[in-house]
A and B are shown apart, each in its own frame.
Chain A
Amino acid sequence: MFAYIIRRVAYAIPILIGVNVLTFYLFFVVNSPDDMARMHLGQKRVTPEAIEKWKASHGYNKPLLLNRDAEGSGRFTETIFFDKSVRLFAFDFGYSDEGRDIGHDIRQRMLPSLAIAVPALLLGLLVNITFALLMAFFRGTYVDVSGVILCVILMSISGMFYIIGGQYLLAKLFRLMPISGYDVGPDMVRYLVLPVVIGVVSGIGSGSRWYRTFFLEEAGKDYVRTARAKGLSESLVQFRHILRNALIPIVTGVVVVLPLLFMGSLLTESFFAIPGLGSYTIDAIRNQDFAVVRAMVFLGTVLYIIGLILVDITYTIVDPRVRLT
């Protein structure tokens, strides 16, 4: 297994390079360094000299990918791409084009993102499993049918409605919690209740319907029928056999998203003014801050790959038959 992990990590390197090249290409195909300079220098009274100066001081005055004027390996190293990419692999994100230390910003913004994502995930898991179990237990009855219909209805509502509606009802009409904002310390709970509740509610539909199929699938298997025939009580069958085995796909489904929780949620963070990583990425795209975009994409890729590896490891833990080679 150890060898396996080493191999997967080695495998990640070409992916990271590929992602980096692609990000670089996509970004510069639409924004020339001149565009970026103008964006950062503002709209009024921008002179061509100021643009050249900005580019020089931010390292955007070299050729993008290939330097025809340089000698030898310098043809590749004396370029923006080389300058900006290599340090990423050491997780040195450098400075944003506005001059802030990206690594510091990321560390600061990670916590708010997690503060929403983790409770929403755990609570959501709890609610969804409960609901799914309920439906699976009463399969075929009105409880199941109306539950599934409710799920489909909940699924068919756009996430934007949940947020707009939630803010309007709970915070504006009922005045139960602040409409938006964020704070550290014990006060944090008050700000997080609303986004977390909305996160959970908007996930119930797809989540519990999905889990229900896992439960039903397990319930249809032979060993369950054997257990029943054996005369085990229904609750014992339900929980000892079905729940336990259906947890495997649920857990692996959760594990794969775990690392991505760091990346935050875009909609929630903008609507609730929460300083997380989701809004960081979007702001960077909007402000054409290439350094931040690239850092975030890189980070996202690393986390995604970690997620994939974690899933494989989880498989070996929950199912000893699986062996990683």
Chain B
Amino acid sequence: MHAVPLVGKQPCFSCVAGLVLAASLLLSACSDQPWNRPYPAADAGRNILYSSFSERPKHLDPAQSYSSNEVTFTGQIYEPPLQYHYLKRPYELIPLAATSLPVARYLDAEGNALPDDAPSGTVAYSYYDVSIQPGIRYQPHPAFARDEQGALRYHDLTAADLADVYSLGDFTATGSRELTAADYVYQIKRLAHPGLHSPILGLMSDYIVGLGDYAKMLNKVWQDAGGVQGATYLDLHAYPLNGVHEIDRYTYRIKLHGKYPQLLYWLAMPFFGPVPAEADAFYSRPGMKERNITLDWYPVGTGPYMLTVNNPNRQMVLERNPNFHGESYPSTGEPGDREAGLLNDAGRPLPFIDRIVFSLEKENIPYWNKFLQGYYDSSGISSDSFDQAVSIGAGGEVSLTDAMREQGIRLNTAVSTSIFYTGFNMLDPVVGGYSERARKLRQAISIAIDFEENISIFQNGRGIPAQGPIPPGIFGYVEGDAGINPHVYDTTPRGPRRKPIETARRLLAEAGYPQGRDIETGKPLVLYFDTASTGPDAKARLDWLTKQFAKLDLQLVIRGTEYNRFQDKMRKGTSQIFQWGWNADYPDPENFLFLLYGPNSKVSLNGENAANYRNDAFDRLFDRMKNMDNGPQRAELINEMIDIARHDAPWVWGIIPKQFSLHHSWYLNSKPNLMANNSLKYRRIDPAQRLARQAEWNRPVLWPVIALLLLVLLVILPAFFAFRRQQRMSAFGATR
């Protein structure tokens, strides 16, 4: 008989469901906050910065983290010896943990000191002595915790001791200690650690004396010990490295082959930050790795913030480091910074913000909408939300739209230190090679691909057409008409203009392809574009590119493939035309020009020269320019190199993207700094203002819900009456 009660309950179930929904909505309404606030109610109004990440960072170990989403975290936690000045442009290195900028000293092959102005040819070795500030202390961390006897408390843990441990927070005791030069030496040795895979080991082995052999030796020791990644502890202090050693408690020395002034830039990256050996020992205890408690996930640093929650599935939290040695906001900047309010906090102690919460956000739509609702404090803008945010004035100046200004949102723009180009594979028999024919074909294509239009459609003006490999803001970039690529642009009184398509057609005819047909066989010239692009607007981009080639009657075949095959093609040199990008490691022209350096080509030598361009004159100039100090002589060499490259046209120079970012009015001290990765400590927010604005912007709209409920009722009621009627009728029928 239990079927009957079910009847009565049936409509009630939906009532209950409705009630639950209503109750949950009311529940959040009671807290007097917007219903759509995506954070816990208790945190409202606190000094917390909200940001997001779209993909979990793969590595937070300073020896391994390299990509920008990883450095966002490690940059705040680890303190390398140097950093970039937050406000000054061009980018300037200043000491961070170091007491001063280290100066290069030179030695000849016999080890005799050379004067500072010794010519490059005679310099066999150079060395840098780095002194760090005394008194810097590490963040509180269980690796430093000591027991009553003063022994390290957690360093002889067994797997059984870890039974109740699930995250780093479950260790009750923490400790700290002073930062020493040995920690920096230790980290440089870690670059060669066999269990880690440092991306710069190959590069650094070429420069740091003995690092290559050190890696080989460690690997042998490791194999003999039956090394398991992350679980076998290798005491690197026991194995000296020839080129890097401690001089005293606060000073260490790095010895290099030849001259390498770019080392200073590397010293501003987390690769050269300090790592305490205790941390490695602590994390290598049995059972730690099984619980995802590793240095790769829980960094240990001296910086302004420490990572307290690391749940890459949902949320990552940086919290103020109580042991931070203190630093103050810069009191000088470039002209205009004072007016922009960027110096209001000059001299105040850093950091300003207590906590930074990064939430996982995979899709663009929710991310952008949450920013508009005030739940993210700053946002980059994708090209598609651009129109809403920004309008460009008659003179090309960028300003926010009225709607955005009303919300108090502010805009920052910066030309980035990266380049996206379309490359020709110089090994290809058709587009490659150094014959006049191939060169003219490449030049014709360079004119035809209208990057001004590309920027306007796909980037919404957030970029400038590149005139050569060097972006603005990097030494060697030439402003104005003198910096124009004369093979693609004409200088006119109204600024540079892309050469007319007729010029490209003429070049194409001279190359032996009038109207896109081979002059001898009459066969149409078919070109191949290799790409691995997927994603929402891949189709539009590929359509656009085909359109550009069609302007010259050239037939473009898109060879889409997946990422690995594409990489494979690039390495084997079987591609023809491709798109590639480069993001600078440091603000030096060498970091861009080496992309065209012959001995750095991708095929056979596995370098970063994806076009496999090789011009002896260019290569010779590069060797001379590489280690020079910035000055007129270097500028001249760079100009010469760029002229050669422009004439050969191995790249269609492409786009230098501009970065636009938006900030709410409560987000202060933000100035784009594309080199500094530790800039969160300078930011300040006004939580009270934020709270007020959020409440104002997010009043729920209730009438549709009520309307919907009424509608459902309207539909159900007639049915209910009909049901009653039919029941009565059948009962009547039954009695009859």
Contacts and interface: CB of A to CB of B under 8 A. Distances in A.
B13 A235 contact: no
Contact of A48 (B21, B66, B313, B606): B606
Contact of B730 (A35, A233, A272): A233
Contact of A175 (B13, B294, B562, B700): B700
B462 to A, nearest CB: 23
B701 interface: yes
Nearest to B731: A233
A73 interface: no
A183 to B, nearest CB: 7
Contact of B27 (A31, A101, A180, A189): A189
B195 interface: yes
Given A240-B4, A275-B314, A175 B370 contact: no
A177 B292 contact: no
Nearest to B361: A273
B28 A171 contact: no
A191 B38 contact: yes
B359 A181 contact: yes
Contact of A173 (B11, B289, B564, B701): B701
A271 interface: yes
Most buried by B among A100, A109, A137: A100
Contacts of B66: 42, 44
Interface string A33-57: 0010011111011111110011001
A179 interface: yes
A281 interface: no
A243 B3 contact: yes
B713 interface: no
B203 to A, nearest CB: 6
Nearest to B729: A234
Interface in B544-591: 562-564, 567-568, 585
Contacts of B296: 99
B123 to A, nearest CB: 25
B705 interface: yes
A171 B36 contact: yes
A13 interface: no
Contact of B40 (A58, A187, A273): A187
Contact of A31 (B200, B227, B564, B734): B564
A109 B314 CA distance: 10
B727 A176 contact: no
B35 A176 contact: yes
Contacts of B39: 183
A176 B229 CA distance: 48
A53 B194 contact: yes
Given A233-B731, A240-B4, A178 B202 contact: no
B201 interface: yes
B370 A180 contact: yes
Interface residues of B, number: 84
Interface string A155-188: 0000000001001010111111111111101110
Contact of A275 (B313, B365, B366, B722): B313
A100 B370 CA distance: 30
A37 to B, nearest CB: 9
A66 to B, nearest CB: 24
Contact of A233 (B203, B289, B567, B734): B734
A231 interface: yes
Contact of A273 (B58, B363, B375, B700): B363
Contacts of B735: 231
A53 B3 contact: no
Interface in B600-628: 606, 608
Nearest to A197: B21
A105 interface: yes
A138 B726 CA distance: 10
B197 interface: yes
Contacts of A46: 199, 606
A174 B700 CA distance: 6
A187 B13 CA distance: 23
A176 B360 contact: no
B440 to A, nearest CB: 32
B36 A175 contact: yes
Given A40-B58, A176-B25, A167 B365 contact: yes
Interface residues of A, number: 81
A80 B518 CA distance: 52
B289 A99 contact: yes
Chain A: interface secondary structure? Answer: helix
A77 interface: no
B289 A234 contact: no
A25 interface: no
B421 to A, nearest CB: 15
B35 A177 contact: yes
B201 A50 contact: yes
Nearest to A98: B58
A270 interface: yes
A101 B290 contact: yes
B158 interface: no
A179 B36 contact: yes
A108 interface: yes
Interface in B344-371: 359-363, 365-366, 369-370
Interface stretch (A14-22, A123-131, A205-213, A308-316): A123-131
A56 B701 CA distance: 58
B564 A176 contact: no
A279 interface: yes
Interface in A207-260: 228, 231-236, 239-240, 243-244
Contacts of A190: 24, 28, 35-36
Contact of B17 (A126, A134, A233, A280): A126
Contact of B699 (A123, A175, A177, A273): A175
Contacts of B331: none
A75 interface: no
B369 A99 contact: no
A8 interface: no
B628 to A, nearest CB: 23
A225 to B, nearest CB: 13
Nearest to A279: B362
A95 interface: yes
B271 to A, nearest CB: 11
A198 to B, nearest CB: 13
A171 B369 contact: yes
B7 interface: yes
A181 B38 CA distance: 6
A179 B682 CA distance: 30
A185 B55 CA distance: 24
Contact of B289 (A32, A95, A193, A270): A95
B67 interface: yes
B242 to A, nearest CB: 19
B661 interface: no
Nearest to B23: A189
Given A45-B608, A233-B731, A183 B197 contact: no
B6 A243 contact: yes
Contacts of A172: 369
B294 A99 contact: yes
11 contacts: A30-B564, A38-B564, A58-B229, A108-B311, A164-B365, A174-B702, A175-B701, A177-B36, A231-B735, A235-B723, A275-B314
Going nearest first, the 6 A-B pairs with the smallest beta carbon separation are: A275-B313, A231-B734, A178-B38, A47-B202, A180-B366, A181-B38
Interface of B: 3-4, 6-7, 10-11, 13-14, 17, 21, 24-25, 27-28, 34-41, 55, 58-59, 66-67, 194-195, 197, 199-203, 219, 227, 229-230, 289-292, 294, 296-297, 311, 313-314, 359-363, 365-366, 369-370, 373, 375, 562-564, 567-568, 585, 606, 608, 698-702, 704-705, 719, 722-723, 726-727, 730-731, 734-735
